[in-house]
Amino acid sequence: MSTLNDQDRENLVAYLDGELGEEAAQALEAKLNVDPTARAEVEALRQTWGMLDYLPRPAPSTTFTTRTMDRLSVERLSVRTGKMPVAARTRWLSYVGWAAAVLVAAAGGFGLANLIWPAAKNHVERDEILVKHLGVVEKLGQYQNVDDIAFLQALADPDLFGEEES
């Protein structure tokens, strides 16, 4: 069982890195001297750190500096001529492309909707017809009880119910 507390554990790495103040380092060393479990923790941390040396340190490609200087020349040239560098131009073109695509999609959607629901296009014309025949519309409920126009005309015949009394 280790005698190290949380603060000691946080200090262990700083101790290994030589970043711990003298007083704190001495206090930690005193604990390590009498605690083999704590010493094992230090050793584990030290070995783990050492294992990072197995990671490769990839060398830059031989053309790295030349390519960087070429890109710089292109940028400087674009600044002088007022032209955008290729990357910026591509990015700008992609924004324009997206905006155009949204517009085309909106226009297409509108056209398609008109094609599918043509009545919607003629709603003004439809309203005008309804206003023109408002009288019929208002009495539509009554007219629906009538079978045909001949029946209505027969109802209007004065002989059917006799003359009105004056």
Interface region with other proteins, contact rule CB under 8 A, candidates 64-72, 89-97, 142-150, 151-159: 64-72
Terminal alpha carbon distance of the chain: 124
- Judged by CB under 8 A, the residue of 1, 22, 34, 59 near other proteins is 59
Query: Which is closer to other proteins, CB of 67 or CB of 126?
Result: 67
| Contact between 31 and 23 (Cβ < 8 Å) | no
- Judged by CB under 8 A, the residue of 1, 23, 34, 52 near other proteins is 52
Query: If binding is defined by CB under 8 A, does position 149 make contact with other proteins?
Result: no
Per CB under 8 A, contacts with other proteins among 21-50 are 40, 43-45, 47-49
- Give min distance, CB of 129 to other proteins, in A: 56
- Rounded to whole angstroms, the Cα distance separating 98 from 104 reads 10
Query: If binding is defined by CB under 8 A, does position 57 make contact with other proteins?
Result: yes
Interface region with other proteins, contact rule CB under 8 A, candidates 7-15, 111-119, 122-130, 138-146: 7-15
Residues of the shown chain interacting with other proteins in the complex, contacts defined by CB under 8 A: 9-14, 17, 19, 40, 43-45, 47-49, 51-52, 54-61, 64-65, 67-69, 71-72, 75
